[in-house]
Amino acid sequence: MSYPQKNDTVSLFYTGKLDNGEPFQIVVEEKPLMARIGNSDIPPTLEQAIMEMKIGDSRKIRVPPEEGFGARQKELVQTIDSDEMVKNIKPKPGMILSLKVEKEGVEQKIPATVIEVDDSKITVDYNHPLAGHHLTYDLTLSDISKAGNGDN
């Protein structure tokens, strides 16, 4: 049995958890994640561990924020006037809104989590919900497709 190499495609199933044990993503064996090694499909820490696994091996791997969804950025928490909101939406803390922002001269819709609401202002967070978190993956390598080969 061989180990995955660069450009091989691996099939994985896993449970991703926060430090408090709360799962944030579950990929089941019946619908595994397919990822190409060396293609930046997965964080480097996960990739390195997978390259040391054989089919059927399971590991628990901790990924730092920098390799996951990045560090939290204070400047991505912003306060906007509530009159800038669509009139038929009544934002509440925890709600995720798709807000228009201009980025590099192009208007885009970006998801933002509502943090606080008062009569005239709404505080939103444009950080990814998992930014700043260490992530733990309980993963199993279920298959390896060698580069340039349709099967293993």
pLDDT digits (tens, 9 = 90+) for 11-44: 999 999 999 999 999 999 899 999 999 988 889 9
Task: Please indicate, yes or no, whether the overall pTM of this predicted structure exceeds 0.75.
Answer: yes
d(CA 60, CA 73): 28
pLDDT digits (tens, 9 = 90+) for 112-143: 999 999 988 999 999 999 999 999 999 999 99
Asked if residues 146 and 73 have their Cβ atoms less than 8 Å apart, the reply is: no
Question: What range defines the domain where residue 108 resides?
Answer: 74-125
Please state the domain count of the chain: 2
Q: CATH code at 42? A: 3.10.50.40
